[in-house]
Structure 1
Amino acid sequence: VYDQPTTFVSKTDGLGPFQLLTLNHIFIHVAKAPR
């Protein structure tokens, strides 16, 4: 019962922070870019 939820959570925790950091990094560059 716990195998699937644990795997899903571990995959989400592994991908989530990196994707958020990448999106945040791009957003900061776009916001600071001169127009």
Structure 2
Amino acid sequence: LYIIIGFILITTIPLLITFVKSKVKSPEEEKTDLN
């Protein structure tokens, strides 16, 4: 069970990090473009 949980965490955490970064970066990039 722990192997499966660890595999899921290893595969989902990077996707969540990249998803959050893309969400955070998009508004900042739009602001810099306006400036």
What is the aligned residue count?
32
Structure 1 residue runs of 4+, over 6 Å off? none
Greater percentage in helix: 2
- Structure 1, unmatched stretches of 5+, are none
Which sections of structure 2, spanning at least 5 residues, go unmatched?
none
Q: 2:16 aligns with which of 11, 19, 27?
A: 19
* Percent identity between the two aligned chains: 3
CA RMSD of aligned residues (A): 1.5
Deviations 1:1-35 (A, max 9, x none): xxx11100000011110111010011011222227
Q: Distance in 2 between the 1:31 and 1:12 partners?
A: 28
> Residue type matched to 1:18 in 2?
L
